[in-house]
């Protein structure tokens, strides 16, 4: 679904990516792992069309990413940022309805509102709908923003640390919801810091290291490779599933 050819990107004189070539398959959950500052969030911003000052080419559904209009791009790709600073005390339902903006001009239709309610129900937070978004905890706000992305009905969902500020129960709930979306044919690309969760729930993993993006079969990852990425020792445990733990 996404093909990256010769991607290069820099902030001023700081090289982030140099000649990246890789692909991301349709209908899979792809996790991106790497150290802080390695370029994970930058890659997501590029793939979601927010950063355009890169060289090389990115094709989505065989069309150059830079050639999509803003409206068509919003219908194709939904993006959940790592940080969000709410300003106005909008009701939660109104925040989620904004995910339908690519589909209406002035006012949301009855169907747009219905889709927004469905997104809240899917995350089991329909009881939030009349609450002020600014009154919610950080974890609750994260769930609302994910509902907004789901209401957007995109073909691709790009998530920057969706598990941040969530307790373990909600982390697992979100990952199961993401797997459910993937089973419906949606392609999901997500930065996740919880390495064990990434290995348990992802279909594919991209590792970022020193300006390179390494696509590797997660079943063939060993301790030495992980240590080369994160610079800490790891222990891999096999008990029907693969568990990854820092070896401290």
208-242 pLDDT tens trace: 998 899 988 888 888 889 999 998 888 888 777 77
pLDDT, position 190: 96
Full strand arrangement of the beta sheet holding 2-11: 14-24, 2-11, 55-60, 63-64
pLDDT, position 204: 92
pLDDT, position 14: 87
pTM (predicted TM-score): 0.91
> What is the rounded distance in angstroms from the CA atom of residue 209 to the CA atom of residue 202?
19
The full set of domains in the chain, from first to last, is 2-212 (3.40.50.300)
Give the residues of the chain that fall short of pLDDT 50: none
Pick the closest to residue 29 from 176, 193, 179, 195 (CA basis).
179
Helix (H/G/I), strand (E/B), else coil: 227: helix
> What is the rounded distance in angstroms from the CA atom of residue 245 to the CA atom of residue 216?
18
The residues that bridge with 213 in the sheet, in sequence order, are 208
> What is the rounded distance in angstroms from the CA atom of residue 92 to the CA atom of residue 121?
13
């Amino acid at each position: 679904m996404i093909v990256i050819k010769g991607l290069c990107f820099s902030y001023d004189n700081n090289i982030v990516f140099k000649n990246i070539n890789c692909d991301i398959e349709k209908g899979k959950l792809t996790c991106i792992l790497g150290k802080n500052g390695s370029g994970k969030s930058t890659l997501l911003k590029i793939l979601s069309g927010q950063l355009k000052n890169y060289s090389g080419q990115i094709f989505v559904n065989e069309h150059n990413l830079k050639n999509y209009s803003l409206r068509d791009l919003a219908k194709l790709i939904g993006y959940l940022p790592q940080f969000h600073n709410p300003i106005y005390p909008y009701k939660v339902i109104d925040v989620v309805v904004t995910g339908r903006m690519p589909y209406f001009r002035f006012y949301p239709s009855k169907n747009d509102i219905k889709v927004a309610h469905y997104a809240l129900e899917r995350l089991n937070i329909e009881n939030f709908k009349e609450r002020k978004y600014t009154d919610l905890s950080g974890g609750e706000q994260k769930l609302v923003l994910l509902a907004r992305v789901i209401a957007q009905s995109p073909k691709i969902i790009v998530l920057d640390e969706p598990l941040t500020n969530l307790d373990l129960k909600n982390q697992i709930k979100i990952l199961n919801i993401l797997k459910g979306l993937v089973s419906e044919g949606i392609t999901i690309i997500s930065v996740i810091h919880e390495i064990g969760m990434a290995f348990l729930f992802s279909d594919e993993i991209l590792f970022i290291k020193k300006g390179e993006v390494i696509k590797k079969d997660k079943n063939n990852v060993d301790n030495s490779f992980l240590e080369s990425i994160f610079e800490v020792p790891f222990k891999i445990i096999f008990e029907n599933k693969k568990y990854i733990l820092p070896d401290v």
